[in-house]
């Protein structure tokens, strides 16, 4: 039996499968209705009598065929599944390590603490894995309703953070996993701006030191640059002092904290029965793709 027969997608990656949901645009849907009405009534949207022409008939036929065409996996989904196949069949997976992921992984509880401060309720990191017949995942928090917290690297990324299709589907996946337990069909995507880990500050400082040609500690430009670096990684000065009491500040004026309410963005996400149906369909299609790819590889190996 194929190892992909009961393959489950990670909720964090379900958005990679759920692209190109609509086969035609909203305008094309509207065009179908307009053309069908004209064909039936002989009157256009302006109330004028019009003729039903071969051109209109061809256009309506093409739109309907496009709308009712069989579901196929978009090329982007296939590319993602190729990566899944390499990882699960061959055991080859790219190792992703960077400062952005590093902060996100290390500061999850800090971000939840920020949300807790805002809501005046303590949210604890969930460490329980959930799964159904199609997906699996570990939501960040499930107290009350699903919360998925994204920790931004710096203020630029926080200011530019907005709801994305990938993150939206991730939350929808988590909600689906918790439907039977929480009985709630909506959740939250929350962006948070919290202090960076101390080792990242040291790493950035070291990199800056060499980029600036190893200046002396008294160099004015160096001091100004490190002062700016402190402001770029510290958003709650009191919290930084509490966690890193040995840090010797370069900024003599340490009144540069950003109020908690400014460091959080919240987006409500709602799951629908249509969303669940679509996720099921895409996972089933993904399984078929992976199984066929497995068959092709095994056939090639057998022939050698």
Reported as a single tens digit per residue, the pLDDT across 269-303 is 999 999 999 999 999 999 999 999 999 999 999 88
Which range among 35-44, 108-117, 200-209, 250-259 shows the weakest confidence by mean pLDDT? 35-44
Reported as a single tens digit per residue, the pLDDT across 193-234 is 999 999 999 999 999 999 999 999 899 999 999 999 999 999
Reported as a single tens digit per residue, the pLDDT across 130-139 is 999 999 999 9
DSSP one-letter string for the chain: --TTTT--EEGGGHHHHS----SS-HHHHHHHHHHHHHHHHSB-TTS-B----HHHHHHHHHHHHHHTSPP---HHHHHHHHHHHHHHHS--------HHHHHHHHTHHHHHHHHHHHHTS--------EE-SSEEE--SB-SSS-EEEEE-SSHHHHHH----HHHHHHHHHHHHHHHHHH---EEEEEEE--PPPHHHHHHHHHHHHHHTTS--TT-HHHHHHHHHHHHHH-S-HHHHHHH-TT---S-S-------GGGGEEEEEEE--HHHHHHHHHHHHHHHHHHHHHHHHHHHHHHH-
Q: How confident is the model at residue 24 (pLDDT cuts 50, 70, 90)?
A: low
What pLDDT does residue 26 have? Answer: 81
Average pLDDT over residues 94-102: 86
User: Per mean pLDDT, which of 42-46, 166-170, 179-183 is the most reliable?
Assistant: 166-170
């Amino acid at each position: 039996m194929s190892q992909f027969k009961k393959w489950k997608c990670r909720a964090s990656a379900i958005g990679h499968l759920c692209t190109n949901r609509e086969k035609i645009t909203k305008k094309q849907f509207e065009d179908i209705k307009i053309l069908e009405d004209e064909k039936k009534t002989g009157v256009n949207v302006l109330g004028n009598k019009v003729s039903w022409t071969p051109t209109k008939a061809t256009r309506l036929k093409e739109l309907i065929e496009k709308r009712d065409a069989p579901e196929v996996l978009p090329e982007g989904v296939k590319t993602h599944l190729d990566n899944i196949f390499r990882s699960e069949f061959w055991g080859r997976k790219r190792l992703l390590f960077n400062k952005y992921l590093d902060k996100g992984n290390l500061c999850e509880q800090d971000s939840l603490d920020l949300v807790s401060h805002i809501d005046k309720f303590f949210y604890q990191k969930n460490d329980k894995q959930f799964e159904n017949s199609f997906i699996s995942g570990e939501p960040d928090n499930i107290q009350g309703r699903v919360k998925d917290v994204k920790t931004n690297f710096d203020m630029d990324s926080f200011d530019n953070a907005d709801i994305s299709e990938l993150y939206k589907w991730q939350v929808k996946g988590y909600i689906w996993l918790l439907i039977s337990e929480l009985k709630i069909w909506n959740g939250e995507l929350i962006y948070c701006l919290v202090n960076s880990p101390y080792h990242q500050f040291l790493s950035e400082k070291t990199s800056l030191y060499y980029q600036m040609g190893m200046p002396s500690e008294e160099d004015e430009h160096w001091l100004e640059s490190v002062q700016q670096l402190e402001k770029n990684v510290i958003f709650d000065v009191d919290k930084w002092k509490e966690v890193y009491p040995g840090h010797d500040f370069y900024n003599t004026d340490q009144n540069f904290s950003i109020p908690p309410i400014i460091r959080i963005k919240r987006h409500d996400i709602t799951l629908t029965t249509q969303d669940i149906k679509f996720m099921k369909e895409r996972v089933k299609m993904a399984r078929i793709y992976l199984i066929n790819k497995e068959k092709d590889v095994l056939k090639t190996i057998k022939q050698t």
